[in-house]
Structure 1
Amino acid sequence: MIKTISRFLTMLVQRFLPDPLVFAIFLTIIVFVLGIAITPSSPLAMVKMWGDGFWNLLAFSMQMAMVLVTGHALASSPLLRRGMRNLATIATTPAQGVMLVAFMSAVCSAINWGFGLVVGALFAREVARRVAGSDYRLLIASAYIGFITWHGGISGSVPLVAATKGNPMEATIGLIPISQTLFTSYNIFITVALIVVVPFLCKMMLPKPEEVVAVDPSLLAEEPVTSKVLGPNATWAEKVEESTFLAMLIGAFGCVYLAMYFVKNGFNINVNTVNLIFFTAGMILHKTPMSYMRAVINAARGTAGILVQFPLYAAIQVMMEHSGLGGIITNWFVNISTKETFSVLAFFSSGLINMAVPSGGGHWVVQGPFVMPAAQALGADMGKAAMAIAYGEEWMNMAQPFWALPALAIAGLGVRDIMGYCVTALIWTLPIFIIGLYFL
């Protein structure tokens, strides 16, 4: 049954889902029209919101581009290549391959979302090289499906922001410690259940041998060697460029800073920390500045989708927030809720909002002011209400191609290649969230 549904959805997506850039443009038009129709905002006011918000994610776009570039460059180092090759040998059949990729991605995403996105896609490529008969599309889809665990892990932005002093909701509802969100029985159940179930779900979507789409061999070509052996007539400039000492010095700076950071802040990993870890480790493992730079150049070609599409989503988010459209949608779900059903309906409202605002932090800004005071008034579990916002975002990512862009850039595939499998995962993981939010 799962295989049949995934086959049908893959066929549907192949025919009707446009490129992520066109998808973002369609969302812009939809939000613009709804803003005019449902809120008091005029067309010119909506255009102004769009323009004002266009560069709101500029810093985040750079962060995500760096996640992709530094993660890819790190994985292309000789040591990491060998490590992934050895790990990939655990799988000997296509079914084992997709299960291993999904499991690794789910675990890594629970540790850190940026780490999971990059490592999952890179590992999927390695498995595709090693396991004959693999369906490359499903391997990459499995890597992205594993991303569904991220908000329940230690880098979940909503629970971390809700526990941080100075966040936008502190004055209204106070702080929500992570003991009431991340370290609760329902979150442990949901996250562990996803880590266990997702690999088997991906296995059940495996196409028949005659339906496997052979991967273009060029997509699996080994990364070019970035090290350079200098000849006896090398110039001083060339020797400096290939200096191991300089690479180790910068690596030492990064290691010392990270040690001081973790001593002061504990195991508090954010996207900047991940990027610095990737950069420091990459510089050390590539051994020379120019070897690392050549790896970065190879990786940077995949950032086009991030640089072009993230500004559009920033503009959409501001239109949703400033027009009040996001609040209207959220309030509709809130108004039909009871204390018992509140978290489930907040989850669905978050999933709907995620189509236009695919950002955990953005959800807290758009939905927090409506969901959290309502939860407080109903006497609902405040931590569960916050996590409902988070779960809706991570769940609907399976139908929203925004976060798939880094993985697709690494894989060399398009969104239509994987989204049918991801939507299948969206359907079959829903009971896990409902059980955790309603029954636990």
Structure 2
Amino acid sequence: MLRQLTRVCVRYAERYIPDPYLYAVLLTFITVVAALIWTPSDPVKILTAWYNGLWTILAFALQMALVLTTGVALAKAPIVKRMLEKLAGLPSQQAGAAIVVFLTSAIGSWLNWGFGLVIGAIVAREIAKRLRDVDFAFLVAAAYMGFMTWASGLSSSIALVSATHGSALNIIEKQTGKVAGFNTTIFTYYNLVPVVLLVIIIPLALYFMAPGARDRKRVDPDMLIAEDKAEQEEAETESTFAALLENSWIVTLLLVAMGVAYETHLIAVGKFALDLDNFIFLALMLGLIFHWRPIRYVRAFNSGAKTVGPILLQFPLYGGIMGIMTNTGLAAVMAQSFVDFSTQRTLPFWSFISSNIISLFVPSGGGHWAVQGPFMVPAALKLHADPAMTAMGTAMGEQTANMVQPFWALPILAIARLGIRDIMGYCVIALVIGLVVYGGSLLVFA
């Protein structure tokens, strides 16, 4: 029955889900209409908010591009690639392959969302090169499903800012005078139990929803192998000064030594934090040292840069949507509408539900919290609900809504060279599971 339901979802996704760029354009139009209807903003104010939003997200867009590119370059390092190939060699059938991909992505995303996004897609590619009788889109969808753990993990934007003293987005501290440490957000029963359940339930679902032999959309393994070989072609080695410099490990060692010295200083003064900038920096340093020779890292980085195009195209559009949502008060109207009928016990749950809706328009953990947090935290204090749990409800909604919001699928799809309609049908099933597991936990442990 699950396989039949999945087949229906896949068929409708292939027929009706547009390219992610058009999805962003349609969301822009919907946001404009909604702002006209539910806020007092006039067309000029809406257009101004939209235009300004296009450019305020550029710094974040570059960060995302570097997360993807440095992550791909790191994964292509010989030592890392060998580890991934061994991991890809474990499954012998399609269902087992999907489970391995999901678990790899889920664990990686819980540790750091950027790492999880990249590694899941790469393992899927490695498995597809070995097993000819697998549905490649199904494997890539399993990789994206693993992303449902990121906001409950160590790199959760909302949990990190809530635990950071003086952060501009630490709304809990601004309202209560106290930070919400990981012991009140990440390492709690209401957060860890659903993560464990998800890691158990999704593999079971993957086993039963795997496409049958007649429905599988296979990819030519030889094509994937040829693509990787083309990217890894070594340039001719010449006895010139330029060639010697390009292959000089001393250059790499000196640059990495600077990086190690700086990170050591941060640890010594107690300022080390695995935020977005530091993750990019560490991925860069590890990639450099693992590739050893500068020119090898350059080639790997250039290979990863080829996957950035869709992100750079769509980020400004989502910046415009965020600008409208924030500056017209539309996000506030949406959040407040759920607060109005919440109680002490149900506020975290309704924070989760409203987050799922707002995430379709603001698919960014930090940006999302900036528009929803100022309404949820005061409501939690007024109703005597747990502010940290309410904040994590917002975080959980962010990660479940991603299953039908193609924004964060772009890095995975770029690596796999697939379209959103190839995986969305499978992700709808994951969305339903995520809603039940995370939403149920917020009600049970409230």
Q: Counterparts of 2:249 and 2:78 in 1: how far apart (Å)? A: 15
Q: Secondary structure at the match of 2:22?
A: helix
How is 1:71-220 mapped onto 2 (pairs within 5 angstroms)?
A: 71-166=71-166, 167-168=168-169, 169=171, 170-174=173-177, 175-217=179-221, 218-220=223-225
- 1:229 deviates by 5.4
Q: Which amino acid aligns with 1:230?
A: T
Counting aligned pairs with the same residue, the percent is: 40
Q: How many residues align?
A: 438
- 1:346 deviates by 1.2
**Out of 223, 230, 237, which is 2:237 matched to?**
230
Q: Which amino acid aligns with 1:343?
A: P
The answer for the alignment partner of 1:292 in structure 2 is 297
- 1:265 deviates by 4.2
The answer for the alignment partner of 2:26 in structure 1 is 26
Q: Answer whether contact 2:332 2:371 (CA < 8 A) is retained.
A: yes
- 1:338 deviates by 1.5
Q: Counterparts of 2:393 and 2:403 in 1: how far apart (Å)? A: 16
Q: TM-score, normalised by structure 1?
A: 0.96
Q: Which amino acid aligns with 1:26?
A: L
The answer for the alignment partner of 2:285 in structure 1 is 280
Q: Counterparts of 1:342 and 1:32 in 2: how far apart (Å)? A: 28
The answer for the alignment partner of 2:402 in structure 1 is 397
Q: Counterparts of 1:181 and 1:394 in 2: how far apart (Å)? A: 15
Q: Which amino acid aligns with 1:437?
A: L
**Out of 338, 341, 349, which is 1:336 matched to?**
341
Q: Deviations over 1:120-168 (max 9, x none)?
A: 1111111111223111001111111000001111111111112222334
Unaligned runs of 5+ in 1: none
Q: TM-score, normalised by structure 2?
A: 0.95
The answer for the alignment partner of 2:378 in structure 1 is 373
Q: Which amino acid aligns with 1:127?
A: I
Q: Deviations over 1:85-137 (max 9, x none)?
A: 11111111111100001001000100000110011111111111122311100
- 1:176 deviates by 2.2
- 1:61 deviates by 0.8
Q: Counterparts of 1:92 and 1:49 in 2: how far apart (Å)? A: 52
**Out of 375, 382, 391, which is 1:386 matched to?**
391
Q: Counterparts of 1:258 and 1:131 in 2: how far apart (Å)? A: 41
Unaligned runs of 5+ in 2: none
Q: Secondary structure at the match of 2:228?
A: coil
Q: Answer whether contact 2:129 2:224 (CA < 8 A) is retained.
A: no
Q: Which amino acid aligns with 2:158?
A: V
Q: Secondary structure at the match of 2:334?
A: helix
The answer for the alignment partner of 1:271 in structure 2 is 276
Q: Counterparts of 2:158 and 2:281 in 1: how far apart (Å)? A: 22
Tell me, yes or no, if structure 1 residue 434 matches structure 2 residue 439. Answer: yes
- 1:2 deviates by 2.1
- 1:373 deviates by 0.6
Q: Counterparts of 1:88 and 1:230 in 2: how far apart (Å)? A: 32
RMSD: 1.6
Which stretch has the larger CA shift, 350-359 or 54-63? Answer: 54-63
Q: Answer whether contact 2:266 2:272 (CA < 8 A) is retained.
A: no
